[in-house]
Amino acid sequence: MRICVCLLWTILLLGATGCIEIIDDLSMNADGSGTFRYTVNLSSSKVKVNSYLSIDSLDGKKVPEKADIIVRIDGIIEELRKQEGITEVTFDGNYTDYLFKLKVDFETVEDLQVAVKNVIKAEYNANKIEELNHNWLSYKGGALVRSVPKMTIYKVSELSSNDIDLLKNGNYLSITRFTSEIRECSNEVASISKNKQAVMLKSDPYSLIRESSLLDITIELADTSDTN
């Protein structure tokens, strides 16, 4: 009977499906400071996430326990709080619906970028990652240049082909907001909000893996005084 229960559990694991939604939201203030919000929504995949977490290993790899993940994330948040130019770091982890929200206030985009790099170095012992020499954010002369760090993509590309389906069904939203109006932006697929103060780029994690420059964008403001 125990074998039957195990079999059933396996069947349950196998049947679960779902997808992932990521929102990366950068709000710039007139003085160059701002707020960065990063939201990962797995609520439509919670059956799948819970099924993963209920097993010891998958595809020959150990599956972390929920407690391990919490410790790991707490470590990252603590490291982020130590960074210069970074304030008001909050993290809201909803482990029932698997909705994770990170909010970080920064003094300059450079501070944000350095902070992210430092956290990566500290947590992953990743001094040798070439991408850390690259800049993903700059804000000068009324123009903001953004891209998605390639190492995120490298990390995702390590996923097995099986996980790729999950990413294909997912959403990646990149939103950049300002306190003044936007004059133009470089990415043709970007859309500007009706109040002309926000730009949104939409993709899916799978397309991003294949073409990391999909979300590269340069946004120019109408009023160049709204810059540092």
Report the candidate in 209, 208, 206, 212 with the shortest Cα–Cα distance to residue 166: 206
Subset of 94-133 contacting other proteins (CB under 8 A): 96-97, 99, 123-125
Residue pair 183/190 in contact by the 8 Å Cβ criterion: no
Binding of residue 40 to other proteins (CB under 8 A): no
Binding of residue 11 to other proteins (CB under 8 A): yes
Please, what's the b/e burial string for 33-48 (b: 16 or more CB within 10 A of its CB; e: otherwise)? Answer: bbbbeebebbebbbeb
Binding of residue 169 to other proteins (CB under 8 A): no
Binding of residue 180 to other proteins (CB under 8 A): no
Backbone angles phi, psi at 86, to 5 degrees: -115, 130
Q: How many CB atoms lie within 10 A of CB 56?
A: 7
Residue pair 142/224 in contact by the 8 Å Cβ criterion: yes
Binding of residue 67 to other proteins (CB under 8 A): no
Q: Which is nearer to other proteins, 23 or 143 (CB)?
A: 23
Binding of residue 92 to other proteins (CB under 8 A): no
Least distance CB 162 / other proteins (angstroms): 4
Q: Which of 30, 35, 38, 44 binds other proteins (CB under 8 A)?
A: 44
Residue pair 119/149 in contact by the 8 Å Cβ criterion: no
Q: Which residues bind other proteins (CB under 8 A)?
A: 1, 4-5, 7-8, 11-18, 21, 23, 39, 41, 43-44, 46-51, 54, 56-62, 64, 68, 72, 96-97, 99, 123-125, 160-163, 165-166, 175, 177, 193-195, 197-200
